[in-house]
Chain A
Amino acid sequence: MDNRDSIKKRICHSRIISLRLKDRISQLPDEILTNILYLLPVKEATRTSVLSCRWKNLWTYVPSLIIKDYMSSPEIELRPVRKCRFTLDVFRTYNPSQELTILLDYDGTTSRDVNEWINFAMENWVKMLDLNLEQYYTIEKKFPVMKDFPLTKLFLTEVNVIGEVLEHYVSNCPFLEELYVSSSNSLVNLRLVDQPPKLSIFQVAHCSNLENLEISAPNLVSFGYVGPKIKNMTLKHVPLLSKVAFGGKYCESIEFDSDQHASYLSQLKKLVLYFTKEVVDRTLLFPYKLPVFCNLKKVELKVHTYLGQSLLPLIALIIASPLLKIFSLELEMDYSHKPSENEKLVENYNIWKASKHPHQCLKKIKWVGFDGSGSHVDFAKDLLDVAVSLKTFIIDTVYPNIALSEDHAEFIKRWQIAVVAACKIAQAHPGINYFIDC
């Protein structure tokens, strides 16, 4: 009796123990373990090969990039920030995948030539190359490149590259569809003429020394530029261009009716304008003359503005776009800015009476950052005067950064004013579906 009991106890005890100490991680399916391994530094992921037989080759399903520098001793281990890493050293065990992405995060501590490993990496199945080099690194030499890389997307952030070199690289990427260049101080002139042929999205941002940008791209659908004013921006032969985004100080001086932009204006379906903080001192919110955007269906504005600034000039965009369906406005309010005398004079500058320009197509307006102040209410009324066919008006009274920067009581007070004002407007203008988000 006692024996059996004690044996039973021992069995139960050991069963419980083994449950608690079950190796659950090895039971996970391969794809989940691969997910986990790619979050580890390359060497650590590789070291899991000795954990048990199950783990022997798991790490090889996670491609990682290690360049062995045979000239100098420390090899560069590239720590992945996002998706994939690519192994060169253990080439033979590499399992190629269709969608290979390389993200290179380089801290510039060795003298290794970035050019060489970009090209080395490019030789092997790379579809998307995203270079974000935290310390400015210069790609200068025209390194001989292999023809016909499968690269489809190229992101260059904080990589100093001059126009010539960039042109050279992309002309060897016949499949390149998306090109994003950001914060390259050496970029002065860039000419992309019919190369790469499949280029469909191109964005340039914060390249403060850029002077000349010339694009001729038969498949370009979307173009974006954010930054200071540049001497010359020419978009030639862009028959498919339908979406354009401009931001930064460049917005101050766009002359839509100049040669720079005139060629594609009638094609535009979507226009995004991003008036950043640097532009808040301008005297007139919207200083330029507008041509007619005969195909423009959607406008998105993100505007940094101050309390009391008249938003009326923005109506000009609506009037200039007879087929406009959606007008989206996001306001970032600067409550500390005091308008100068010049700005105050302009407040009274009424360009047109909004009600004299009824717009037949505008169906939806979305406004993020409505605060119920005088100029906001006035603008809302102007919008409603213009948009005689309006079906939907979304008013979002929660603006992006305000809750973080102000004290809670102030925020609640402003928010209440905004909601009350929005409801009043809705009541005064029936016949429309209002969505007031608070």
Chain B
Amino acid sequence: MASSSTSVVVSNKEKENKNTKKVTLKSSDGESFEVDESVAMESQTIKHIIEDGCANNEIPLPNVTSGILSRVIEYCKKHKEAAGESEPSVTSYTSNSTTNPLTEWDTEFVKVDQNTLFDLILAANYLDIKGLLDLTCKTVADMMKGKTPQEIRETFHIKNDYTPEEEAEVRKENQWAFE
């Protein structure tokens, strides 16, 4: 039967609820970041650590510097806020498709120098944050699109270590791509 107590939870999505669980993330250079557990769990890696009970409230992340970690946390916070609760019950064939409301924010987020971008990729990979990995990889792909191999080399400072003969051979093998 119905319980005798009533609870009314009015949640305002913009404010942070005082009673949510927090977790501390420690960067490779020793800085600590306290975040909501739900935000930290945007990272599958962290999620597994917490679920396995190995958290102890402070999780060391030796592969991520504080500068990058703070950006990653920013991303996770923003995306967690925006994430809706419900899942579509029928597939996309029957419901309206929605555009990502965070597209603009994401675009600004990845306007960084190359070093930071690659650090973000590695962090997203290590922390297993799919959205961030997809976003950063797409950014790199966009930097490559429409460029000749030489232009790509220049953009990313790739050293061509083929001998002229080797390069010619590779071009010939994949001739159809160079036509």
Assess A39 versus B10: contact at CB under 8 Å? Given A52-B159, A224-B90. no
Q: Judge if B145 is at the interface, Cβ distance under 8 Å.
A: yes
Q: Scoring A residues 203 to 247 as 1 if CB is less than 8 Å from chain B, else 0, what string do you get? A: 101100000000000000000101000000000000000000101
B121 within 8 A of A: yes
Asked if A44 contacts B145 (CB within 8 A), the reply is yes
Confirm or deny: A53 has a beta carbon within 8 angstroms of a beta carbon on chain B.
yes
Q: Chain A residues with Cβ under 8 A from B138's Cβ?
A: 39
Choice from B86, B125, B141, B171 contacting A40 with Cβ under 8 Å: B141
Residue of B with least CB distance to A429? B6
B118 is contacted by which of A24, A330, A390, A435 (Cβ under 8 Å)?
A: A24
A427 CA to B12 CA, complexed, in Å: 19
Which of B7, B12, B114 sits near A24, CB closer than 8 Å?
Answer: B114
- Nearest chain B CB to A408's CB is how many angstroms away? 15
Contact A437 B7 (CB under 8 A): no
- Using A52-B160, A432-B6 as known contacts, say yes or no to A438 and B145 having CB atoms under 8 A apart: no
Q: Which residues of B contact A144 (CB under 8 A)?
A: none
Q: Does A28 count as interface, using CB distance less than 8 angstroms?
A: yes
- B14 CB to closest chain A CB (Å) equals 9
Q: How far is the CB of A360 from chain B (nearest CB, A)?
A: 10
* Contact between B144 and A44, CB atoms less than 8 A apart: yes
* A28 neighbours in B (Cβ, 8 Å): 118, 121-122
Contact B137 A36, beta carbon cutoff 8 Å: yes
Q: Which A residues from 249 to 306 make CB contacts under 8 A with B?
A: 272, 274, 300, 302
**A205–B174 touching, CB < 8 Å:** no
Docked pose: A40 CA to B143 CA in angstroms: 10
Asked if A40 and B149 make an inter-chain contact with CB atoms under 8 angstroms apart, the answer reads no
Chain A 80-96, CB-CB to B under 8 Å as 1, else 0, gives 00000000011000000
Q: Is the CB of A53 within 8 A of B161?
A: yes
User: In whole angstroms, what is the CA distance A25 to B157 when docked?
Assistant: 9
> What's the minimum C-beta distance from A387 to chain B, rounded to whole angstroms?
10
| Interchain CB contact under 8 A, B160 and A46 | no
Which residues of chain B from 88 to 136 have a CB within 8 Å of any chain A CB? 89-91, 93-95, 114-115, 118, 121-122, 125, 133
Interface residues of B in 132-179 (CB under 8 A from A): 133, 137-138, 140-141, 144-146, 148-149, 152-153, 156-162, 166-167, 170-171, 173-174, 176-178
**B174 close to A90 (CB less than 8 A):** yes
User: Which residue of the partner chain, among A41, A51, A245, A432, contacts B152 with CB atoms under 8 Å?
Assistant: A51
A416 within 8 Å of B (CB atoms): no
B19 contacts the other chain (CB 8 A)? no
Task: Tell me, yes or no, whether B56 is within 8 Å of chain A by CB.
Answer: no
Q: Cα distance A35–B166 when bound, in Å?
A: 26
Taking a contact as CB atoms under 8 Å apart, the answer to whether A423 and B10 are in contact is yes
Main secondary structure of the interface of A (DSSP, over half): mixed
A437 touches B13 (CB 8 A): yes
Residues of A within 8 A of B5 (CB): 431
Give the distance in Å from the alpha carbon of A336 to the alpha carbon of B115 in the complex.
Answer: 53
Tally of contact residues, B, Cβ under 8 A: 55
User: Are A23 and B149 touching (Cβ within 8 A)?
Assistant: no
Q: Is there contact, CB below 8 Å, between B94 and A224?
A: yes
B4: A residues at CB distance < 8 A: 431
Q: Flag if A433 contacts B9 (CB, 8 Å).
A: yes
**B83 in the interface (beta carbon within 8 A):** no
Compute how far the CA of A53 lies from the CA of B173 in the bound complex, rounded to whole angstroms: 14
Point out the residues of chain B lying under 8 angstroms from A75, CB to CB: 176
Least CB distance from A397 to B in Å reads 10
Contacts A28-B121, A40-B145, A52-B159; is A226 near B9 (CB within 8 Å)? no
Kindly state the separation between the CA atoms of A49 and B174 in the bound complex, as whole angstroms: 8
Decide: A50 near B167, CB < 8 A? Known: A44-B144, A431-B2.
yes
Interface string of B3-42 (1 = CB under 8 A from A): 1111111111100000000000000000000000000000
Out of B2, B6, B114, name the residue touching A389 (CB < 8 Å): B2
How far is B10's CA from A389's CA once the two chains are assembled, in angstroms? 22
* B93 x A157 contact (CB < 8 A): yes
| B2→A391 contact, CB < 8 A | yes
Contact yes or no, B8 A434, CB < 8 A: yes
Complex CA gap A430/B7 in Å reads 8
A50, A203, A248, most chain B CB atoms within 10 A: A50
Q: Are B158 and A25 in contact (CB under 8 A)?
A: yes
Report if A182 contacts B (CB, 8 A).
Answer: yes
Instruction: Determine whether the beta carbon of B93 is less than 8 Å from that of A226.
Output: yes
Using known A-B contacts A28-B121, A36-B141, determine if residue A47 contacts B2 with beta carbons closer than 8 Å. no
Sample 20 A-B pairs with CB under 8 A, ordered by A number: A24-B156, A25-B118, A28-B121, A28-B122, A36-B144, A39-B138, A44-B144, A49-B177, A50-B162, A68-B176, A75-B176, A203-B91, A205-B93, A302-B89, A302-B95, A328-B89, A330-B86, A435-B9, A438-B11, A438-B13
Residue numbers of A with Cβ under 8 A of B are: 21-29, 32, 35-37, 39-44, 46-53, 55-56, 66, 68, 75, 89-90, 157, 180, 182, 203, 205-206, 224, 226, 245, 247-248, 272, 274, 300, 302, 328, 330, 366, 368, 388-391, 396, 419, 423, 426-427, 430-438
- Beyond A28-B122, A39-B137, A437-B13, 18 additional contacts (C-beta under 8 Å) are A23-B158, A24-B156, A26-B156, A26-B158, A40-B141, A46-B177, A47-B178, A48-B144, A48-B149, A50-B149, A50-B171, A51-B158, A68-B176, A180-B93, A224-B90, A248-B94, A433-B6, A434-B6
B binding-site residues for A, Cβ under 8 Å:
1-13, 85-86, 89-91, 93-95, 114-115, 118, 121-122, 125, 133, 137-138, 140-141, 144-146, 148-149, 152-153, 156-162, 166-167, 170-171, 173-174, 176-178
